[in-house]
Amino acid sequence: MQWNDAQERYELGQLGLEELVQEFGSPLFVYDSAKIKSQYLKMEQALSACPSVKINYACKALSNLTILKLLRSLGAGLDAVSYQEIKLGLAAGFAPEDIIYTPNSVGAEELEAALALGVKLNIDNIEMLEYLGHKYPGQGFCIRINPHIMAGGNAKISVGHIDSKFGISIHQMPLVERIVSSLKLNIEGVHMHTGSDILNVEVFSMAADILFNIARKFDTVRYVDLGSGFKVKYKESDIETDMQEFGQEISQRFNALCEELGRELTLMFEPGKYLVSEAGCFLAQANVIKQTISTIFVGIDSGFNHLIRPMFYDAHHEIVNVSNPAGKPKIYTVVGYICETDTFGYNRKLAEVREGDILAFKNAGAYCFSMASNYNSRYRPAEVLLHEGQAYLIRERETFEDLIRLQADLAIF
């Protein structure tokens, strides 16, 4: 999102944000395809020293079919965490072999259904590895390792520490090796993911050393998946992961591993937020301006039913008044219309907000619409993709009929 001096308006993808609300309504999620593409190419270029790299988009970040098709067209594979995400990936045109399924706490029925679709299966517990190994001899599996590294910008998005539910503990590897040996399992990949919002390249290097050591234990390994967790900027003063530095460091270590093993492996990643976060913008209208003894509230036509990250993760999203950019700066607390405490930002300096003004929330491409709900029986908003100067509606706004469509209307009372 940027300010256009010539047209005196805020734009995304060279289209005016206020005009988009006028066309598609409010609240509204808007995504810029050019930003998604540039993030993908930046990562691809940073890892160009590796002979074989596969970037699998973590579609839980934003699972709209059009977004999936865009990333497939760039050459991405898909990281799915549910059977439904696998089906979405197939519907978007991904080949089964380009989808890696990394669930946790699911039953054998879902895992076997995924196997039947032909996707790569990433197993994160020993019992399931043994069960599937017995039942599907010769089947290739990936194993997810818990490296016991505490990393990430928030305890809720740190998934590689010792108390995490994710992955097989590195201390259980001797047992895994015995199972693999006795059942003659085909361990085709090893995987780990330590968390999100990691900016220190050394954390990735430490995790890579652990995973590379595990890859050395299995001569059937064809790919090594380092997950993701790259930090993006949420405000101008933020630090982000230095992708170029990361690429150089990891490429050097990975190439040395391949040379040592005498065979070419594929280095895999599963970025979600890194690819789509900064491409997204959430637009909402100011309903009320409410002055209390100590606070001026701006109440908008949205709530944590649409954008839960500030409430769930204490996440920061920059907020801009796009309708009155030249207005006198004032301090506001921006809140939603949900019958709970749903505060988007405390004491934010904004250009004076009037009823009807449009506020824009930056970094709304990842874990925003995908975490939306119908709480308070509110409708989920529309989604729009900006592509090559055109705005495309990629999800219609919900209606009352959508709320009751799957409910039974029993005539028993």
C-alpha distances out from residue 105 to 90, 170, 329, 402, Å: 23, 19, 49, 30
Q: Taking the C-alpha atoms of 143, 126, 114 and 142 in order, what is their torsion angle to the nearest 10 degrees?
A: 10
Among 142, 258, 281, 339, the one annotated catalytic: 339
Does residue 278 contact residue 293 with C-beta atoms inside 8 Å? no
| H-assigned helices in 47-104 | 65-74, 83-91
> What are 5's two structure tokens?
């001096």
Going by the annotation, the residues of the binding site are 229, 309, 313, 340, 367
DSSP tag of 265: P
Give the list of residues 6+ apart from residue 52 with CB closer than 8 angstroms, or none: 264, 265, 266, 267
Question: Can you tell me the distance from the alpha carbon of 30 to that of 21, in angstroms, rounded to the nearest whole number?
Answer: 10
Give the list of residues 6+ apart from residue 378 with CB closer than 8 angstroms, or none: 303, 305, 306, 337, 338
Active site (annotated) includes residue 368: no
Going by the annotation, the residues of the binding site for pyridoxal 5'-phosphate are 229, 367
Going by the annotation, the residues of the binding site for substrate are 309, 313, 340, 367
Nearest to 365, CA basis, from 393, 380, 385: 385
Question: Can you tell me the distance from the alpha carbon of 177 to that of 323, in angstroms, rounded to the nearest whole number?
Answer: 61
> Nearest 5°: phi and psi at 372?
-75, 160
Which residues does the annotation mark as catalytic?
339
